[in-house]
Amino acid sequence: MKMRLFLTVVMGFAFAVSAQQLTPKLVEITDMTGNKGFEILDAEGLAELTKQVKEETKIFPLVMVEAKKKWLENDEFKKKHFPSTAVKVRKFRVLKQDKEEVLQKLKEKAEDRMSASQDKKISEQSEKYKKMKKRKGGDEMVAKIQEKEEEKNRLESAAGSLVEQLMGEKLGRAIPSYGTGAFGFDGAFGDKKDDKKEDKKDDKKADAKKGDKKAADAKKPAKKDEKK
């Protein structure tokens, strides 16, 4: 009797654990520049995400060292401070587990709340600027503040993109990002072609081809006049 009861309890526990593993989960993921996204993952997807974040965390310090080196080698950014504190390793947290249709609604609500929060911040900033512009020299002051903020966002986005790129190369996969791209950074750290040098190379190649053609024509025997 006791044995049967014990087996029933064990089987019930095993069934509960199995059901829990199969139940989808709503996960909040924060990318390397602090942007958040929401994903619905099953047990396999969550295990893969956990594995990826562990891999990224392990090599993050080395990637940051390499990123700073690349930053100093880049003509556009070498005189700018590398914003180390703006770039962090990805992280995530499980918000809830439930049926997928329930999680889908929760995901939409979470995204709406996040969007509303961002809109609120933009609106508050806009109102703040309007009040500042009413003061003497306010227009110039606001312009300087906006310029400074845009530059800060641009540098942080550039640093984040560079770190993601280098980490992706080391791990052989892309590093997901939820950035809007408003101040995005695309490929400036790659090999940049010097258009003038490329044009000169093309001109030299064209001249070489012309020279080869003239030399070849000179070697051809002269054609005899055809008899009429």
The region of weakest confidence among 13-27, 73-87, 139-153 is 13-27
Phi, psi dihedrals of residue 112, rounded to the nearest 5° = -65, -40
Q: How many residues does the chain have?
A: 228
Contacts for 138 with CB less than 8 Å, ≥ 6 apart: 132
Model pLDDT for residues 178-207, shown as the tens digit of each residue: 874 433 444 445 444 444 444 444 555 555
Sequence spans of domains, the chain: 24-195
Whole-number Å distance between alpha carbons of 107 and 109: 5
